[in-house]
């Protein structure tokens, strides 16, 4: 050990950290060295895969700086080959981990992972078409946007939606951990938190975006536009007999087609925002509203200040 390293008592710290890991593994029924290598997907690997997929989906905008149109197909093919093989490796890790956690045989994991990533690859053209509707919605929905290229290159809402469309497919395919990692990478980059389970229709536009939260069981229709700091969240979290939170229950809002939700609005619970409604800024809403409603702070309050 070098003289400089000796200042930090590294041998003692390393030993203590090993002890902490061993204690955690013992408490959680994990045997040290049981699996040898990495047993969970890598955030770094997923980030690289997503960057490659974005380039393959929009090669002349999000691909390499020196790409030319005559080599576009070659770039897309090569990039997809590398990205999909890397995604397959991460899917195998997640599926093996899930099988072990469930006490199941993992002998069929490889074949299952291949089928899932094949389906994901085949879905990419339709995902690109769906994303085109989101890009156009952003361009038409923001008077400051000068071109669809500017929207694709600059808008954090578009980056978040690209990640969400990819993550949602993985989530529905039975790869929730990969999906959540993908969503959290976008969350870190944009400040927009979309759970990969959320169902979002075409032509979706998040303007500005910072602080937006969309929960797992939210359902959003077509041509919906939301602004920064909007929350589509849960009102309450039911618990089981042991006090543990119950998972998987519908608990987030349904937002129908052509709804606009302005900055700072908080919409909680399994309520429905009717088609064509407008929800004003900073509104706190826990009840359904009919189609065509115009909800503001002023019309949401009784004279005594209580909510209608």
For the chain, list the domains and their CATH numbers. Answer: 38-191 (1.10.3130.10), 211-308 (2.160.10.10)
The secondary element (H helix, E strand) that includes residue 190 is helix 176-190
Please give the pLDDT value at position 35. Answer: 58
Please give the pLDDT value at position 105. Answer: 84
Q: For residue 301, give Cα distances in angstroms to 52, 248, 278, 287, 295.
A: 49, 33, 16, 13, 10
Burial readout 215-253 (b: 16 or more C-beta within 10 A, e: otherwise): bbbbbbbbbbbbbbbbbbbbeeeeeeeeeeeeeeeebbb
Indicate the DSSP class of residue 30.
P
Q: Per-residue confidence of the chain (308 residues) as pLDDT tens digits?
A: 555 656 888 999 999 999 999 998 888 776 555 556 778 999 999 999 999 999 999 999 999 999 999 999 999 999 999 999 999 999 999 999 999 888 888 889 999 999 999 999 999 999 999 999 999 999 999 999 999 999 999 999 999 999 999 999 999 999 999 999 999 999 999 999 999 999 999 999 999 999 999 999 999 999 999 999 999 999 977 777 777 777 778 999 999 999 999 999 999 999 999 999 999 999 999 999 999 999 998 887 644 344 55
The secondary element (H helix, E strand) that includes residue 226 is strand 225-226
Q: CA-CA distance, 223 to 277, in Å (whole number)?
A: 12
- Phi/psi for 148 (5° steps) reads -65, -30
Please give the pLDDT value at position 306. Answer: 44
HSE toward the beta carbon, residue 210, CA cutoff 13 A: 0
DSSP string of 240-289?
-TTSPBP-S---S-EE-TT-EE-TT-EEESS-EE-TT-EE-TT-EE-S-B
Sheet strand arrangement including 225-226: 205-206, 225-226, 260-261, 278-279, 294-295
The secondary element (H helix, E strand) that includes residue 95 is helix 72-101
Please give the pLDDT value at position 100. Answer: 86
């Amino acid at each position: 050990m070098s003289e400089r390293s000796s200042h930090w008592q590294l041998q003692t710290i390393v030993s203590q950290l090993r002890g902490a890991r061993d204690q955690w593994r013992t408490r959680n029924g994990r045997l040290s060295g049981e699996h040898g290598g990495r047993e969970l997907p890598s955030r770094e690997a997923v980030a690289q895969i997503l960057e490659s997929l974005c380039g393959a989906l929009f090669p002349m905008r999000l691909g390499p700086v020196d790409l030319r149109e005559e080599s576009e197909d070659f770039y897309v093919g090569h990039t997809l080959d590398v990205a999909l093989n890397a995604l397959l490796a991460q899917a195998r890790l997640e599926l093996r981990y899930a099988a072990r956690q469930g006490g199941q045989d993992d002998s069929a994991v490889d074949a299952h992972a291949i089928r899932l990533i094949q389906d994901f690859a085949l879905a990419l053209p339709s995902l690109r078409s769906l994303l085109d509707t989101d890009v156009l919605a952003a361009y038409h929905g923001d008077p400051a946007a000068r071109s669809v290229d500017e929207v694709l290159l600059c808008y954090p809402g578009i980056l978040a939606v690209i990640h969400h469309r990819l993550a949602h497919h993985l989530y529905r395919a039975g790869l929730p951990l990969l999906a959540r990692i993908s969503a959290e990478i976008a969350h870190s980059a944009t400040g927009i938190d979309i759970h990969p389970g959320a169902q979002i229709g075409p032509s979706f536009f998040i303007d500005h975006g910072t602080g937006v939260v969309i929960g797992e069981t939210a359902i959003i229709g077509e041509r919906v536009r939301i602004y920064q700091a909007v929350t589509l969240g849960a009102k309450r979290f039911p618990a089981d007999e042991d006090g543990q939170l119950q998972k998987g229950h519908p608990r987030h809002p349904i937002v129908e087609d052509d709804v606009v939700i302005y900055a700072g609005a908080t919409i909680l619970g399994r309520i429905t925002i009717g088609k064509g409604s407008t929800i004003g800024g900073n509104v706190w809403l826990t009840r359904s509203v009919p189609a065509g409603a115009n909800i503001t702070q002023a019309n949401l309050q009784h004279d005594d200040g209580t909510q209608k």
